[in-house]
Amino acid sequence: MAIAEKNVIGGTCVNRGCIPTKLMIYAAEFAKQQEIASGYGWINPKGKFAWPSFKQAMDNHVRAIRQKQIEKLEGIDILRGQATFIDAHTLEIEGQKVTSEFVLIAVGGRPTMPDLPGIEHAIDSRQILNLDTLPDSFLIAGGGYIGVEFSQVLRCYGRQVTLVESNPCVLNGFDQDIQARVKQTLIDDGIALMDDTRLKKIEKGTDCLAADLSNGKIVKTDQILCALGRTANTDTLNLAAVNIDTEKGMIVVDPQGRTQEPNIFAIGDCTATMLLTPVAKAEGTTAAEAMFGDSSAQVDYYWIPSAVFMHPEVAMAGLTEQAARDRYGQIEIKCNTFTPLKYAITSNPIEALIKLIIDPKTQKIIGIHMAAPRAADLVQALVPALKRGLTAAELAQTIGIHPSTGEELFCL
């Protein structure tokens, strides 16, 4: 068994995604704690954020995780270099030909950079992690979860932030009530949010960048960060040598991850499934089982939870209100807003939101949406019960822990 890898071990999640960006979010949470500290009697709690010190700690932790992953690969050959197909069972890696019964493609993706004038002056979500110093102002193009998270994080670090989103609202694909709540949260944080707006052109001046926007405005800023989705890393594989279909650059697979070539499988961000690390891991397990005889193994994509790690957190599983109406016609909605106790005595209390989508015929919960502290943990903890057909009545009959945010789930 062997792994071909041209970059560092660990892929996007460890090196350029989940781990370092979540550490950035945790650093930003201290700023949020400072905001409410005076309500709890703390005098002059404000501190100053030192990006170089934090970056060193973040980089050290990433290296430590990477080393642990390398140690776990003991007994597996690591072939350094770009792998390209010669045929369905043969690949070339730095001039060396390697044959294998099965091939698993897990090349991931990279941030999409738009083709527009001056784009060479912008950075992506990987490059921001390498900045030695943090500029005073940012314009972020893209209001998906990456753009939203970075917008709030950088604002918490004391930077001026403008967020530009081409859709009518941020977090396209999330429930409409969550979108509205997140939009207002970003505005309340002091982020200049422009929706229905695209980045058209970038010009470099003597001391700043000028972003020419589709709404007619020109925004001057120190740095422009593009968070406009991801592109699959399939262009260097020489897929023309094998019988593999792609769609918009992403590899087409069956429910087990198998391509049109029976011995070649693909998983993760290079396929047209959900671009989430736990999903890729589940797909990898399913593909391995399929390779070695379990033809029934499949990934169930319906109840996969997803989250936006902002403040407060956003999390969801199942159908949005609009998707549920499209599928079921008539639906029931249970919704509750509340102020978590932690913020009740502060000068700027947050309003949390819990929303359930219910099938009126069976009373089963078919969607759950939250914007609240610890929303990610709360939603994912409910998924096993939701997969087994949890009803609204069963949820309401559950006794919670008082006082807690999770308790509000049982009070709808």
User: pLDDT tens digits, residue range 238-251?
Assistant: 999 999 999 999 99
Q: Strand locations in 168-284, DSSP E? A: 192-194, 199-204, 209-213, 218-221, 223-226, 230-232, 246-247, 250-251, 264-266
Task: State the pLDDT confidence band at 46, using cuts at 50, 70 and 90.
Answer: confident
In this structure, the answer to whether residues 240 and 224 fall within a common structural domain is no
pLDDT of residue 348: 84
> Is residue 223 domain-shared with residue 274, that is, in the same domain?
no
The token duo for 241 is 């040598």
Domain boundary among 228, 254, 278: 228
Average pLDDT over residues 79-96: 96
Give the residue numbers annotated as catalytic, written as ranges. Answer: 402
Would residue 47 count as lying in a domain? Answer: yes
Rounded to an integer, the average pLDDT of 49-65 is 96
138 and 67 in a common domain: no
Q: How many CB atoms lie within 10 A of CB 11?
A: 21
Is 114 within a domain?
Answer: no
pLDDT digits (tens, 9 = 90+) for 217-226: 999 999 999 9
Q: Quick one: pLDDT at residue 297?
A: 83
Q: Which of residues 291, 325, 342 is at a domain's end? A: 291
Largest CA distance in the chain: 69
What total number of domains does the chain contain?
A: 3
Angle between helices 51-72 and 18-37 (to 10 degrees): 140
Q: Are residues 327 and 390 in the same domain?
A: yes
Domain co-membership, 201 together with 349: no
How far is CA 48 from each of CA 30, 34, 153, rounded to the nearest angstrom? 10, 11, 14
Residue 293 is predicted with a pLDDT of 83
Residue 109: what pLDDT? 95
Q: What are the structure tokens assigned to 18, written together?
A: 């989940």
Arithmetic mean of pLDDT, 34-47 = 88
Q: Tell me, what's the pLDDT at 307?
A: 97
Q: 148 with 187, same domain?
A: yes
Determine, yes or no, domain membership for 403.
Answer: yes
Q: Are residues 236 and 217 both part of a single domain?
A: no
Q: Which CATH number covers residue 366?
A: 3.30.390.30
Domain end position, chosen among 206, 228, 250 = 228
Same domain, 222 and 238: no
Q: Is the pLDDT of residue 287 over 80?
A: yes
Shared domain for 6 and 104, answered yes or no, is yes
Tell whether 224 and 235 lie within a shared domain: no
156, 154, 151: which is closest to 194 by C-alpha? Answer: 151
Residue 300 within any structural domain of the chain: no
CATH number of the domain within which 146 lies: 3.50.50.60
Number of other residues whose CB lies within 10 A of the CB of residue 221: 21
Instruction: Please tell me whether residues 125 and 224 are part of one structural domain.
Output: yes
pTM of the model: 0.94
59 vs 61: CA distance, rounded Å: 5
pLDDT digits (tens, 9 = 90+) for 268-283: 999 988 889 999 999 9
**% of the chain beyond a pLDDT of 70:** 100
Instruction: Please list the residues that pair with 220 across neighbouring strands.
Output: 210
- State which residues form the domain around 30: 2-109+231-291
| 149 shares a domain with 86 | no
Assigned domain for 197 exists: yes
Q: Does a structural domain hold residue 301? A: no
Residue 33 has pLDDT above 80, yes or no: yes
